[in-house]
Amino acid sequence: MENVLSILFCLSLLYLALTSRVKHCVNVLQAQGIILAVINTLPLFHHFTLGEIILPAALLGIKGVLIPFYIRKIITDLDIKDPIEPTIQQFTFIMLVITLMSAVFVASGILAKSTEINIIPFASGFSAIITGILVIIFRKKLLVHVMGFLAMENGIFLFGSAIAFKLPVIIELGMLLDIFVVVFLMGIALNKISTTLSGFEAAQLRRLKD
C-alpha cells in the first residue's frame, strides 16, 4: 500500500512540473499532504496507539488543510494570475525532471542492494526534493518558489518514512510547526513584496548586489 501511495505521490510531482496553473499546484501540494498523512496512518492498522495518531492528524491538518488554505488565500488576496512562467523552455524542464527522477529510481535500486531501504518511497521522496529544487530554480513567480520548497519538504517527509529511525512526536510536531511558520512568514513577505515592489517575480529582487 505504501508503494502504491508513493507512486501516486510521484505522479503528483510530474503534474507539478507540467501544470502552468498556480491553483493546480496548490491542489497537488494538498494531495501530497493527504498522501503523507495516509502513509503515516498505515502502521496504525497493525498496532494502534492513541499517541501515534497525533502525527498523521497533524500532517493532515497542516499539510493537507492549513497550508493549502493559506496559499489559496494569498493567491486570491494578491490576485496572482496564471500562467506559471518558466525561465527555460517547458519541454526542456519536463525532460530534466523525468531524467533526474529516472536516475534517482535507478540509483535507489542500486543502493537498496547494500542498504535496507524501501526503494519506492525512498526514490519518490528524493524525486520530490529534486523536483522542488528545479521548480525553485526554473520558475519566475516567488509564490511558485514557495510551492517548490513545500514539495521538497513533502519529499523529505516521505523519504524519512522509508528509513527506520525514531523521532519523538514532539519533535515531529515541532518540524511541522516550523514549516507552517516558514510558509506563514513567506506569505507575509510576499504580501509586502507585492505592495512595496509591485510584483511577485524573482526579477523584482535585484536591489541587493555588490
Partner 1 sequence: MAIIFSLTGLILASGAACWFVKDLKAQYFISLFAAGAHLLFSFALFTGICAPQLAFLSLDPLSRLFLIVVSNVYFWVVLVSYQYLKQSTAKGSGKKYYFIFLNVYLLANSAAILSNNFAMYWVVSEMTTLSVAPLIYYLRDEESLEAMWKYLFLVSVGIAAVFIGIIFLALSATGTVVEGKQLFFTDFIRHAALLNPVWLKASFIFIFVGMSTKIGIAPMHSADVDATSTSPGPIAALMSGSLRVTALVGLMRILQIVRGTSVYEFARFIMIIGGLLSIFTAFVFIFRVRNYKRLFAYSSVEHLGLIVLGVATGGLAFIGAMYHIVYNSINKVVIFFCAGSINQKYGTVDSEKVSSLLENMPWTGWIFMFSFLAISAVPPFGIFFSELKVFEGMLFSNRPWVLFAVLFFMLFIFINMGRVVLQMLYKKDENSKVVKERERVNITHAVSLILLVMLIALALFTPNVLKSTIIDIAKDFGAAS
Give the closest residue to 97 by CA, choosing from 126, 134, 46: 134
Interface with partner 1 includes 1 (CB under 8 A)? no
Q: Which residues of 63-95 are buried (b: 16+ CB within 10 A; e: fewer)?
A: bbebbbebbeebbeebebeeebebeeeeeebee
Which amino acid, 186? M
- List the one residue from 159, 199, 201, 203 that touches partner 1 (CB under 8 A): 159
x/- string (CB under 8 A) for partner 1, residues 93-122?
A: ---------------------xxxx-----
Q: Determine contact, residues 60/34, Cβ cutoff 8 Å.
A: yes
Task: Work out how close the CB of 100 gets to partner 1 at its nearest, in angstroms, rounded to a whole number.
Answer: 15
Interface with partner 1 includes 153 (CB under 8 A)? yes
Interface with partner 1 includes 49 (CB under 8 A)? no
Task: Work out how close the CB of 91 gets to partner 1 at its nearest, in angstroms, rounded to a whole number.
Answer: 26
Task: Work out how close the CB of 44 gets to partner 1 at its nearest, in angstroms, rounded to a whole number.
Answer: 18
Interface with partner 1 includes 182 (CB under 8 A)? yes
Interface with partner 1 includes 181 (CB under 8 A)? yes
Please tell me the distance from the alpha carbon of residue 113 to that of residue 119, in angstroms, as a whole number.
10
How would DSSP label each residue in 175-208? HHHHHHHHHHHHHHHHHHHHHHSS--BGGG--S-
Task: Work out how close the CB of 133 gets to partner 1 at its nearest, in angstroms, rounded to a whole number.
Answer: 8
- List the one residue from 75, 160, 199, 201 that touches partner 1 (CB under 8 A): 160
Stretch that binds partner 1, among 6-14, 20-28, 37-45, 158-166 (CB under 8 A): 158-166
Q: Which three cell numbers stand for residue 73?
A: 488565500
Name, in order, each residue with C-beta under 8 angstroms of 32's C-beta and a sequence gap of 6 or more: 9, 12, 63, 128, 151, 154
- List the one residue from 41, 54, 136, 201 that touches partner 1 (CB under 8 A): 136
C-alpha torsion sign, points 52, 12, 16, 194: negative
- 79 conformational bin, left if phi > 0, alpha if psi -120 to 50, beta if neither: left
Residues forming contacts to partner 1 in the complex (CB under 8 A) are 114-117, 129, 133, 136, 142, 145-146, 149, 152-153, 156, 159-160, 163-168, 171, 174-175, 178, 181-182, 185-186, 189, 192-193, 196-197, 205, 207-208, 210
